[in-house]
Amino acid sequence: MRKFLMVLPLLAMAAPLQAKDVKDVFMPEDAESLAFQSAVGYADAVIAGDKVYLSGVIVTPEPGESDLQPAFTRAFNRIGRTLERAGVGWDDVVDLTSYHTDLQSSINEMVEVKNLYVKAPFPTWTAIGISALYEADGVVEIKVVAQRGE
């Protein structure tokens, strides 16, 4: 008990460092997505210090699309809008992670679309093959981290 009482002030001092200000949390602008993300419990983006962390955006082809480029374009546009709402842009992205349900069949189209948005000097990028995404018809999920102001 005595050790706990000694640690308690340290925990109290650290709490404000972990608190998120509402202005630093970005939720969806459309009602349907807002309702879903509120129910599940995640934001589009969170600013923590000088970093902007974006939740993953799932690449989902629409019926009748013969390739993945339109789906990747929608996803990268959505990421770009979220970055802009958080006060940063593609040039501020320092890390990109992509999760692919079929890495070999999606990587080339991702590179083609990604390179329209992401320019040198390039961020880090990790592409990971996985078995499934939250959305059953999703093929890739893209997550980015950006650095605010230098």
Q: What pLDDT is stored for residue 145 in this prediction?
A: 98
Q: What pLDDT is stored for residue 149 in this prediction?
A: 83
Residue 10 counted as domain residue? no
The per-residue pLDDT for range 80-107, each reduced to its tens digit, is 999 999 999 999 999 999 999 999 999 9
DSSP classification of residue 55 = P
Q: What pLDDT is stored for residue 72 in this prediction?
A: 98
Cross-strand partners of 57: 142
Q: Considering its fold, how many domains does the chain have in total? A: 1
Q: What pLDDT is stored for residue 23 in this prediction?
A: 74
Report the distance separating Cα 121 and Cα 102, nearest Å. Answer: 28
Residue 5 counted as domain residue? no
Q: Which residues in the chain come in under a pLDDT of 70?
A: 1-20, 22, 150
CA separation (Å) from 109 to 4, 136, 139?
Answer: 54, 20, 12
Residue 9 counted as domain residue? no
Q: Supply the range of the domain harboring residue 60.
A: 20-147
What share of residues in the chain are helix, strand, coil (percent, to 5)?
Answer: 45, 25, 35
Q: What pLDDT is stored for residue 75 in this prediction?
A: 98
Residue 8 counted as domain residue? no
User: CATH number, domain at 41?
Assistant: 3.30.1330.40
